[in-house]
Amino acid sequence: MRQHPRWGDKETVKRVAKVEVDLLNYYPSVAIKILGTWEHRGNIELYFKHRYRDFNHPIGSLTEYYKFNAEDVKIVLRDLQKMQPKILSQDEIDILEENYSWEQIAV
C-alpha cells in the first residue's frame, strides 16, 4: 500500500489544524501524528466507522474519535494498509480536474 504522509498538502494541514482546535477545547495539549493517508479513498471513512464502531470514543460533542490501545493501533493500520491503491478512471480524473459541468455529471 502506498502511503503519503504529506504534511505539506494543504488539505492535510487544514484538517490537522481543525482536529487540534477541536481537541484543545477538551485537553490542555494535543499531539497529532499522521500514521498514513490514502489518496482518493474518501470511502475509507464509512468503512472505518462501521468496522471499528466498538472503539468509538466521543469527546464531548465530537463523535469522530476512536480510542485504541497500542496493539489495536497496529492491527487497524495493517488492516488499512491492505487496501489496494485507488486507480482513478478517466471520468473521475475529468471530474477532479473540473472538465465536466455539473449537468454532465448528473446525467
Whole-number Cα distances in Å, 74 to 2, 13, 43, 89: 17, 24, 21, 32
Q: How many domains would you assign to the chain?
A: 1
Residue 5 lies in a domain: no
- pTM here is 0.66
- Examine the pLDDT at 27 and tell me if it is beyond 90: yes
- Examine the pLDDT at 4 and tell me if it is beyond 60: no
Structure confidence by residue, pLDDT tens digits, 41-88: 777 888 899 999 999 999 999 999 999 999 999 999 999 888 877 777
Residue 1 lies in a domain: no
Q: What integer best gives the mean pLDDT of the chain?
A: 82
Domain span holding position 66: 10-106
Q: Which of 5-9, 15-19, 34-38, 60-64 has the lowest mean pLDDT?
A: 5-9
Residue 20 lies in a domain: yes
Residue 53 lies in a domain: yes
Phi, then psi, of 66 in degrees rounded to 5: -130, 150
- Examine the pLDDT at 2 and tell me if it is beyond 50: no
